Amino acid sequence: MGYVPYGTVIAFVEVTMKHIRYNHPLSSSFNELFSEFDPFSRLLGHRFRDLVSGDSRLPADVFEADDHYVARFQLPGVPKSDVSVNLEPNGELVVSYEREQDSEVAKAGRRLSLPEDANAEEVKAKLEDGILTVTVGKAEVAKPRAITID
Amino acid sequence: MNNCCTNDESTVACTDTQTNVIFTKPHYRAKQDEAGYSLRVYVPGVGKSGVTLTLAKEVLTITAKRSDATPEGWSSLSRELSTDDYQLRLHLDTKIDSDRITAKLEDGVLDVALPLKEAAQPRVIDVV
């Protein structure tokens, strides 16, 4: 097959994953789900990595249910107090943790863009058996109304 | 469940009845100190009842089954996490005292203590 430059492989993966997404008519902003930038590795440098995945970017699962979205992360051995879950004003869900263990510092995080109908007022997070589950409710979306012309 | 062929008192071979199941090897770290070895195995998604440790012919097999299956009615928008159960097989040093192996599971991390046999521990010998 020949040598493929690293940059090209990453781009290919990004494109493929975008096509996996569920074609919800209202989730146009979901294309930003896989940001090309990993803000954490730029800020923290490559010295800080998640002890399990070996990367500073936390892998995540994202699901859609009838009335809410769910994002899941793997954080084994990380206590609740070391984890921060934030919803930024621009609608991005930011999850990160910092933990010192066995004289090593592990730091990792992830930034996810939520779809337009995600309701920032209804965010819940649960950490159990090393799995962090963040639930975001869906806002009522204004339905199109037919307007009669006088 | 294991099918074990036994020959008198010793277990000769064990085959797993679920030979078609795919397991993923969990990340783990091993440390050594004077008293023996300690193992830290990362198994997120596994609850207390999901872990089995078996020791047969110096091979320690740790199987951990996840309990975080996605509920019905959830559609996947992106999947990056593994859904496989975990299995780790380690060939143990004969100096380990298999009767005193202990394991603790908390927050998706399994800590296993593998102490050395009494006779194998370092001893200080007095000079008379």
Return the ∠ at Cα B64 (arms to B99 and A111), rounded to 5°.
135
Q: What is the CATH number of the domain that holds A115?
A: 2.60.40.790
Which residues, 6+ apart, have CB-to-CB distance to B24 below 8 Å?
B82, B84, B85, B86, B87
Is A75 inside a domain boundary?
A: yes
DSSP sequence for A66-113: SSEEEEEEE-TT--GGGEEEEE-TTSEEEEEEEEEETTEEEEEEEEEE
Is B113 inside a domain boundary?
A: yes
Tokens for B27? Answer: 């990340």
Tokens for A61? Answer: 């699962």
| pTM for the full predicted model | 0.68
The number of domains in chain A is 1
Q: Domain residues for B55?
A: 38-68+83-122
Higher per-residue pLDDT: A74 or A54: A74
Is B24 inside a domain boundary?
A: no
Measured from the Cβ of residue B28, the count of other Cβ atoms closer than 10 Å reads: 18
Lowest-confidence pick of A15-24, B21-30, B35-44? A15-24
Is B2 inside a domain boundary?
A: no
Q: What is the CATH number of the domain that holds B89?
A: 2.60.40.790
Instruction: Check CB contact under 8 Å for A77 and B42.
Output: yes
DSSP sequence for B36-88: EEEEEEE-TTEEEEEEEEEEETTEEEEEEEE--PPPTT-EEEE--S--PEEEE
- Burial state string for B92-127 with b = 16 or more CB within 10 A and e = fewer than 16: eeeebeeeebeeebebbbbebebbbeeeeeeeeeee
Radius of gyration of chain A (CA): 18
Is B95 inside a domain boundary?
A: yes
- Burial state string for B34-52 with b = 16 or more CB within 10 A and e = fewer than 16: eebbbbbbbbbbbbeebbe
Q: Chain B contacts of A69, Cβ < 8 Å? A: 77
For A63, the closest of B27, B67, B76 (CB atoms) is B76
Is A132 inside a domain boundary?
A: yes
Instruction: Check CB contact under 8 Å for B44 and A74.
Output: yes
Predicted local confidence at residue B96, as pLDDT? 86
pLDDT tens readout for residues A16-27:
333 333 444 333
pLDDT mean over A67-81: 91
Q: Domain residues for A122?
A: 6-138
Contact A125, A85 (CB under 8 A): yes
Predicted local confidence at residue A51, as pLDDT? 63
Is A110 inside a domain boundary?
A: yes
Distance of alpha carbon B23 from its chain centroid, rounded? 13
pLDDT mean over A4-24: 40
Asked whether the predicted pLDDT for residue B110 surpasses 50, the reply is: yes
Is A146 inside a domain boundary?
A: no
pLDDT tens readout for residues B55-103:
888 899 999 999 988 888 899 999 988 889 999 999 887 788 888 999 9
The number of domains in chain B is 1
Q: What is the ipTM of this complex?
A: 0.73
Gap between the Cα atoms of B47 and B66, Å rounded: 7
Going by C-alpha positions, the residue among B64, B108, B40, B48 that lies closest to residue A127 is B108
Pairing of strands B85-91, B23-24: parallel
In sign, the C-alpha dihedral spanning A38, A96, B110, A102 is positive
Predicted local confidence at residue A36, as pLDDT? 35
User: Which residue is it, tokens 């294309």?
Assistant: A31
- Per DSSP, A50 falls in state -
3-state secondary structure of B3: strand
Interface of A with B (CB under 8 A): 17, 20-22, 30, 33-34, 51-52, 59-66, 69-70, 72-79, 102, 127, 129-131
Gap between the Cα atoms of A93 and A83, Å rounded: 13
